[in-house]
Amino acid sequence: MHRPIGMFDSGFGGLTVARALMDLVPAEDLVYIGDTGRYPYGSKPLPEVQSYSHELARSLVKDFDVKAIVVACNTATAAGLDQIRAELPVPIIDVVEPGARSLVKATRSGRVGVIGTVGTVSSGAYVQAVARTGAPVHLVSAACPGFVEFVERGQTVGDEVTVLAERLLAPIRDANVDALLLGCTHYPFLARTISDVLGTGVTLVSSADETAFVARDRLAELGLLRAEAGVGTHRFLSSGDIELFRELGGRLLGAELARTERWPLRTNLV
Ligand code: DGL
């Protein structure tokens, strides 16, 4: 009996990580929960985000018997995963460490930037993760409130999002970085706008691919990687508007989202 890999995010953002994982290990079964009923996470107090992510992680283990969890959300990672790492009997893979590693690999000048939600940037999670890489880089961070809301509305290009991007990315442009980490899993959907604003001299780094590699290697180390070839089953669940998740998720990730199921919000899973 094969056990799936579990993933969660506040909404559609983690689909960027799901895509990378589905492409890298296509035979694996996947269960993805988008907590659209309670998004956005980035503007909420971190203890509240932590309680949501614990609930989602516990549900993935108890209700879906996952063999590993990929926390496809920077804000949930920034809010703290120590408790679920200690409590749950499965490996927990996050997006922050892989993102920081990709960022320091991508720079030539040593001047790097990270953008994320207010929660992620104010937590200092990336400052710490980049410091842990030991790379001698100068890091500039900027929070981008409003970006996630555009993605969740399916508005990834256009004047409104460009005007906001011009304003929020000004400190990054002024800092003369040559590599920018999209430290929120929603932001790759805005890559075209971000790149137009910053110019082609700035390499945009997403943690999705590196996280998928980390997940694959970790599963292989633990003997949990599915050996046979083939295409796994991919299940998508949402705590919010199912029709929206099907429609917008389908546009952002693909036809698999047509079968999105409901993940019921509960509070007493423990
Ligand atoms: N996608 C999430 C992240 O990576 C957060 C989005 C939100 O604010 O809900 O931080």
Note whether 203 and 100 are same-domain residues.
yes
Residue minimizing CA distance to atom 8 of ligand 1:
42
**What's the gap in Å between 47 CA and the centre of ligand 1?**
15
Q: Which domain holds residue 251?
A: 5-94+209-262
Ligand 1 geometric centre to CA of 184 (Å): 5
Task: Give kind and range of the element (H or E) at residue 142.
Answer: strand 138-143
Helices (H), the chain: 15-24, 46-64, 74-79, 82-87, 96-106, 118-123, 125-133, 147-152, 159-168, 170-174, 191-198, 207-221, 242-252
pLDDT tens-digit profile, the chain (270 residues): 789 999 999 999 999 999 999 999 999 999 999 999 999 999 999 999 999 999 999 999 999 999 999 999 999 999 999 999 999 999 999 999 999 999 999 999 999 999 999 999 999 999 999 999 999 999 999 999 999 999 999 999 999 999 999 999 999 999 999 999 999 999 999 999 999 999 999 999 999 999 999 999 999 999 999 988 889 999 999 999 999 999 999 888 888 888 899 998 865 443
Q: Do 102 and 80 reside in the same domain of the chain? A: no
Helices (H) and strands (E) in the chain, counts: 13, 10
Through-space distance between the first and last CA atoms of the chain, rounded to whole angstroms: 25
Residue nearest to atom 2 of ligand 1 (CA): 73
Residues 214 and 250 in one domain: yes
The pLDDT value given to residue 267: 54
Is the CB of 75 inside a 6 Å radius of any atom of ligand 1? yes
Ligand 1: atom nearest CA of 183 is 4
Both 142 and 110 in one domain: the answer is yes
Tell me the whole-structure pTM to 2 decimals. Answer: 0.94
If one counts the domains in the chain, the total is 2
Whether 253 is covered by a domain: the verdict is yes
- Is the distance from the beta carbon of residue 144 to the nearest atom of ligand 1 less than 6 Å? no
**What CATH number should be reported for the domain holding residue 117?**
3.40.50.1860
Q: Point out the residues that are catalytic.
A: 73, 184
